[in-house]
Structure 1
Amino acid sequence: MNLPVLITGASSGLGLETAKVLAAENFPLILGCHDDEKAKAAVRCIREHAPGAEIELLDLELASLDAVRAAVETLHRREQPRLGAIVCNAGLQIVDRVRTSQDGYELTFAVNHLGHFALVTGCADLLEAGARVVMVSSDVHQGPRKSMGFPAPQWRDPRELASPDDRGAAGRDGRIAYSTSKLANVYFAYELARRWGERGITVTAFDPGLMPETGLSRGYPAPARIGFRLLAPLLIRVMPIARTVTRSAADLARLATAPELADVTGKYFTGAAEVPSAPESYDQDRAAELWRVSEDLIATARRVPPVERR
């Protein structure tokens, strides 16, 4: 009997398409979403492809550590709480201005890394030998050479990454924050693999490629969004890093469940291929520091009133 797969950001894009693949393969699903209407629409969409799909909805707002903690508590209260896999797919990119999470942390770092860190570590006791964690990263963490000119990450003390400042007013700064958060995803995956390897839990990082069909460009100005959508079919044909969301979803579902990958851990995949991640992503000191600081940031957030959104 298959154990449930928890997918974050499951109401649209890559998360939804991955859920459809797994539902067709008879895997029970837990869809982590923060918009109730979109979540219900996702369930209807999945059941159009797999009428008998077993689906649960989990209220999950990664921008709030209180909300993540509540989601973890909900998972623990399930009648059969064990999980077969967690697919950390949700992500955002901000290009207009500095924004903060409900805990006062820079929003890109908070959602793309810190919320997922809190979710996965909070579910440690729900994952047993054979379970998997897949972090959806991106080749933007490798810099312009691998990402068709996308700005390279700029790593610094994780406390600084979490602290909003006057950066982010320009689109380039928002994209740097995004690529840096994707490097954080790889650090977390590798450190998690080292810490949980003895428990028989495998952890991988996944680059889905450039998917013009998804909504990651929603933060860009309207002309850019429209152009990106209209040019999507052409981009998929001519750009080496571009893929359809259907293709990437099949590769992501495979990482989360395929028997032939049951023992693969601490690795990075672009699509279906295991490839090296960026040289700096193998810095174990940075990964360990990110883990320690993430724990501290979560502990601090529990003592500090949330910052009001503007």
Structure 2
Amino acid sequence: MEVLRFLRFLCEQRRPLPIPTTSDDVSSKVFMVVGSNSGLGLDASVFLARQKLKLLIVTSRDSTKCKQTREAILERTDSGNNEGTAVEAWPLEMNSFDSVRAIVDRLAAREDSQLNVLVANAGVLLDDNFSSTPDGWELTLQVNYLSTALLSLLLLPYLIKSSTADSPSRLAIVSSVAHYSGPKYLKGARTWDRILETVNSKRFAKGAERYCVSKLMSMMFVRELEARLPNPTPVVVCAIDPGMCQTKMLAKSPARSLTFFSRTAEVGSRTLVHAAIGDEARTMHGRYLSSCKVGEESTYIASPEGKEFSRRLWDETIQLLSQIDSRIPEVVEKYLRSV
């Protein structure tokens, strides 16, 4: 099964992807794209800026990169004139919980605190050296999963407030085809006392292992969040697989020998944009998007073992994030259902 899936993936990599379109009026909407200074995030931001949004907020790791990112977007679009999209670049360092909290505070301080679409694109793939963040978590785990979950939950109230019945807000979290490989690193997970502490340990010695597991966990976060949002949902949440793309991350990937099959960053970014503006948003809710369409996530997620792992992971995540930010319990209680 895995071999056939991999062969289908390689075939799909060579197929052209449609340029995303929308019938929705986005001129009154505010979008945020995380990790916009290069690669997928930059190309997605350029495309969105051309849609003449009310405001596009892009994030980069520091003020210098923010300035460069904004200038690059303006140069590649007509957003510098009075009729184009207003573009703001905000610093966000995903290896810092305080930085995540600060960008949420910045949005909250705006007069209308509007946010219609969040594209959580930031991610890292590291070598086998074990690196910890100032918060004490392994870098891949924090950037790809914990900080992404924290940002998503803290911004959920603003997404809900900005939603309408005809046009729900959207939360798109970038995943990866690598999530299919995640389950093979979870052998014996039923015996782990704490999932997050185990994944945070040097038991996961290789960078590729940590990456695959973090992307599987992100898929599970999407499914658990989807199950707890009201029906009909005010926020469409989905996971995105941009495919194997010609980015800096590919150069560090074990799959770098397959560069022939890789997409350009612009083509890969089309699935991000599709999740952000594509029509029939509710069909994407809780789903895994690949090549600008709904795909099938790992069968492990729907298995009894996978469901139990996912439930435990959600409970541990909410418990941890509640200690990091006191707003998390209120978000869970006010906006999410029990399952």
TM-score normalised according to structure 1 size: 0.82
Deviations 1:169-228 (A, max 9, x none): xxxx110000000001100111111112434211111111111x21114657xxx99xx5
Deviation at 1:141, TM superposition (A): 1.1
Deviation at 1:59, TM superposition (A): 1.9
Question: Among 249, 253, 260, which residue is 2:269 paired with?
Answer: 249
- Counterpart CA distance in 1 for 2:156 and 2:73 is 28
Q: Is the 8 A contact 1:100 1:164 kept in 2?
A: no
Question: Among 199, 215, 235, which residue is 2:259 paired with?
Answer: 235
- Counterpart CA distance in 2 for 1:159 and 1:248 is 30
- Counterpart CA distance in 1 for 2:225 and 2:78 is 35
Question: Does residue 239 of structure 2 align to residue 205 of structure 1?
Answer: yes
Letter in structure 2 aligned against 1:10: S
Relative to structure 2, which stretch is displaced further, 112-121 or 156-165? 156-165
Question: Does residue 302 of structure 2 align to residue 270 of structure 1?
Answer: no
**Residue in structure 2 matched with residue 31 of structure 1 by the alignment:** 58
- Counterpart CA distance in 2 for 1:79 and 1:153 is 46
- Counterpart CA distance in 1 for 2:65 and 2:98 is 22
**Residue in structure 2 matched with residue 196 of structure 1 by the alignment:** 229
Q: Is the 8 A contact 1:133 1:203 kept in 2?
A: yes
Change (3 A) 1:60 1:209: same
Q: CA RMSD in A?
A: 2.5
Q: Is the 8 A contact 2:204 2:210 kept in 1?
A: no
- Counterpart CA distance in 1 for 2:132 and 2:325 is 16
Q: Is the 8 A contact 2:126 2:207 kept in 1?
A: yes
Consecutive unaligned residues of structure 1, counting only runs of 5 or more, are 145-150, 304-310
Deviation at 1:298, TM superposition (A): 2.6
Relative to structure 2, which stretch is displaced further, 176-185 or 72-81? 72-81
**Residue in structure 1 matched with residue 39 of structure 2 by the alignment:** 13
Deviation at 1:62, TM superposition (A): 1.2
- Counterpart CA distance in 1 for 2:301 and 2:114 is 31
Change (3 A) 1:292 1:258: same
Change (3 A) 1:136 1:152: farther
Consecutive unaligned residues of structure 2, counting only runs of 5 or more, are 1-26, 80-84, 327-339
**Residue in structure 2 matched with residue 181 of structure 1 by the alignment:** 214
Q: Is the 8 A contact 2:117 2:169 kept in 1?
A: yes
Letter in structure 1 aligned against 2:248: G
Deviations 1:155-174 (A, max 9, x none): 74432345333643xxxx11
Question: Does residue 312 of structure 2 align to residue 289 of structure 1?
Answer: yes
Instruction: Map residues 80-229 of structure 1 onto 2, 5 A cutoff.
Output: 80-128=112-160, 129=163, 130-143=168-181, 152-154=184-186, 156=189, 157-165=194-202, 167-168=204-205, 173-198=206-231, 199-211=233-245, 213-217=246-250
TM-score normalised according to structure 2 size: 0.75
Relative to structure 2, which stretch is displaced further, 268-277 or 280-289? 280-289
Change (3 A) 1:96 1:81: same
Change (3 A) 1:154 1:36: farther
**Residue in structure 1 matched with residue 23 of structure 2 by the alignment:** none
